[in-house]
Amino acid sequence: MAALIEIEGLTKRFGAFTAVDHVSFTVARGEVLGFLGPNGAGKSTTMRMLAGFVTPTAGGARVCGHDVQTDAVAARQNLGFLPEGAPTYPEMTVQGFLRFVAGIRGYAGRERSERVERAIGLTTLAEARLQPIETLSKGFKRRVGLAQALLHDPPVLVLDEPTDGLDPNQKHEVRGLITRMAKEKAIVISTHILEEVDAVCSRAIIIARGRVIADATPAELAQRHPSGKLDDVFRAMTEPKALAA
Amino acid sequence: MSDGFSVRRTFAITRRELAGYFATPVAAVFIVIFLVLQGVLTFNLGGFFDRDQADLVPFFGFLPWVFVLLVPALTMRLWAEERRLGTIELLLTLPLRQSEAVVGKFLAAWAFCAIALALTFPFWITVNLLGHPDNATIACGYVGGLLVAGAFLAIGAAASAASKNQVIAFVLALVICFIFAAASYPLVTDFISRGSPALATFARRLSVIERFQSFTRGVIEARDLIYFVTFIGFWLFLNTVVVDHRKAD
């Protein structure tokens, strides 16, 4: 089966600084890809290019076969994207915000209400639906961002730190949600929580200084260190002295 | 892109933006200050009663200058705020064209100005109670006023896209609006004609106020309408280009 996400030689330079350096990978339906790396490694920039927000210096990306640059609207219709920090409009209510996103995505009338209800249900936001987003806690705000990404039940999900700021119970719920959706979708999540990779990801990519330095299943990766722990592998591979070698 | 410009998506943006004005104190503060400024200028400085004439000439005389000052305050947040909150990343990764977001935001600000302008109706009632004004001329003046607001809003929106900082966006828009407002005044034309008299004539043609004045005399000419449509179109185009280049900075 053809991959739903195809990234080829994706490169982004900001002046003399290369944030993302010839990154290539594909993600097929049913895969949950954990995107790991130290802060500033190029995770968010890669995801932004995949979502069509940042224009690549070289290379390209396709979502469900649609080029994110030349066929952007079609690519984005197939994509649910949670940007870093889960930005939302603070003065809007949860329901108002989701209705706005549903309107842009082309839903009207009953279908629009049903889509919004479904997203609210999936992310357990019912109790907060009429509250302005600015009055919500960090965990709720993150779930509003998640609800927005799930609204149109897209085949491709790109989630930048989906569990950041959630309490352990909420983290568990979101991981359960991702696992349940995994079969029909291609999902990319970035995270700093390595236990999360074990829990939900079928594959992990480690990126450092803009380059892919590992691409394997979490179990395979863990075996690369004598301790058998993903934590140790991550540290050994991404520490400055390891990268300099 | 596979599909064309969508009016439906544009209006979805417009509705959200317009509701945003009224969800924050922006709307109330803007409208009150606008009405107070117009009132003080028209009645006191403009000598509305002393002129003893049933028209809104002093009202329309000050209107563009009040817009020069207030419109940049209205537009400075349009894009700068999206960048500060990071919502620009959300907005521009939704399945819509950037031009739809640009036009949608502009229309919201313009509709808001139309509401503010409509709330000046007591001036119109006053002048009708005191005498028999030419209401067709007044209507033309209002149409012209709305077009001036549109022209300045388009400038302000582009300035807002150019900077993450709202203060910079405000000052930039204020200066550019002022230049286009004052282009027909000796202040600007004298300065330009020292270098090239032909350029001074050109500057006069570009002046927003020069165009507006024919509306206040009750004349709506096709070339003036074309001027405003082109003017707004140019700045919205620039706005789209700037958003595209600077969105991720």
Between CA A205 and CA A218 the distance in angstroms is 9
A chain contacts of residue B87, beta-carbon cutoff 8 Å: 87-89
Using the structure block, give the residue that is written with the tokens 């089966």: A1
pLDDT digits (tens, 9 = 90+) for A119-171: 999 999 999 999 999 999 988 999 999 999 999 999 999 999 999 888 898 89
Provide the pLDDT for residue A106: 93
A chain contacts of residue B19, beta-carbon cutoff 8 Å: 92, 96
A chain contacts of residue B9, beta-carbon cutoff 8 Å: 103-104, 106
The answer for residues whose C-beta is within 8 angstroms of residue B22's C-beta and 6 or more apart is: none
The answer for residues whose C-beta is within 8 angstroms of residue A75's C-beta and 6 or more apart is: A52, A62, A63, A64, A66, A67, A68
At B105, is the pLDDT very low, low, confident or very high (cuts 50, 70, 90)? very high
Provide the pLDDT for residue B167: 94
Chain A residues touching chain B at CB-CB below 8 Å: 48, 51-55, 66, 70-74, 76-77, 79, 81, 83-85, 87-92, 96, 100-101, 103-106, 132, 145, 148
pLDDT of B87 above 70:
yes
pLDDT of B204 above 80:
no
How far apart are the CA of A74 and the nearest CA of chain B, in angstroms?
Answer: 7
How many residues in total does chain A contain?
245
Q: Is B5 left (phi over 0), alpha (psi -120 to 50) or beta?
A: beta
Which ipTM did the prediction report? 0.90
Between CA A144 and CA A134 the distance in angstroms is 11
pLDDT digits (tens, 9 = 90+) for A151-164: 999 999 999 999 98
CA-closest candidate to residue B183, choices B212, B157, B159, B160: B212
Nearest to B12 among A79, A89, A103 (CB): A103
How far apart are the CA of B215 and the nearest CA of chain A, in angstroms?
Answer: 37
Ordered structural domains, chain A, with CATH: 74-191 (3.40.50.300)
The answer for residues whose C-beta is within 8 angstroms of residue B19's C-beta and 6 or more apart is: A92, A96
CA A197 to chain centre: 13
Between CA A128 and CA A134 the distance in angstroms is 11
pLDDT of A1 above 80:
no
How far apart are the CA of A180 and the nearest CA of chain B, in angstroms?
Answer: 24
Mean pLDDT of the residues in chain B: 90
Environment class of B216 (CB within 10 Å of its CB; exposed 0-12, middle 13-18, buried 19+) = buried
Cβ of A83 within 8 Å of Cβ of B85? The answer is no
At A245, is the pLDDT very low, low, confident or very high (cuts 50, 70, 90)? low
pLDDT digits (tens, 9 = 90+) for B49-62: 777 777 888 899 99
Provide the pLDDT for residue B3: 65
Percent of chain B at pLDDT exceeding 70: 98
Cβ of B85 within 8 Å of Cβ of A87? The answer is yes
At B207, is the pLDDT very low, low, confident or very high (cuts 50, 70, 90)? confident
pLDDT digits (tens, 9 = 90+) for A9-29: 999 999 899 999 999 999 999
Chain B residues touching chain A at CB-CB below 8 Å: 1-3, 8-9, 12-13, 15-16, 19-20, 23-24, 85-87, 89-90, 92-97, 247-248
Cβ of B2 within 8 Å of Cβ of A148? The answer is no
pLDDT digits (tens, 9 = 90+) for A30-71: 999 999 998 888 999 999 999 999 999 999 999 999 999 999
Domain parsing of chain B, residue ranges? 7-246
Cβ-Cβ pairs closer than 8 A, A with B, add up to 85
pLDDT of B172 above 90:
yes
Mean pLDDT of B42-53: 80
Smallest CA–CA distance from B245 into chain A, residue: A55
pLDDT of B244 above 70:
yes
pLDDT of A244 above 70:
no
How far apart are the CA of B234 and the nearest CA of chain A, in angstroms?
Answer: 24
Asked if residue A64 lies in contact with residue A75, where contact means CB atoms within 8 angstroms, the answer is: yes
Cβ of B24 within 8 Å of Cβ of A53? The answer is no
pLDDT of B67 above 90:
yes
Between CA A166 and CA B235 the distance in angstroms is 43
- Write the DSSP symbol of residue A54: S
Cβ of A96 within 8 Å of Cβ of B1? The answer is no
pLDDT digits (tens, 9 = 90+) for A82-114: 999 999 999 999 999 999 999 999 999 999 999
pLDDT of B249 above 80:
no
Alpha helices by DSSP H, chain B: 7-23, 26-40, 57-75, 77-85, 87-91, 98-118, 121-130, 135-162, 166-182, 186-195, 197-206, 208-216, 222-246
Using the structure block, give the residue that is written with the tokens 């996103």: A101
- Write the DSSP symbol of residue A146: H
Provide the pLDDT for residue B1: 41
Asked if residue A187 lies in contact with residue A33, where contact means CB atoms within 8 angstroms, the answer is: yes
pLDDT digits (tens, 9 = 90+) for A193-238: 888 898 899 999 999 999 999 999 988 888 888 888 888 888 888 8
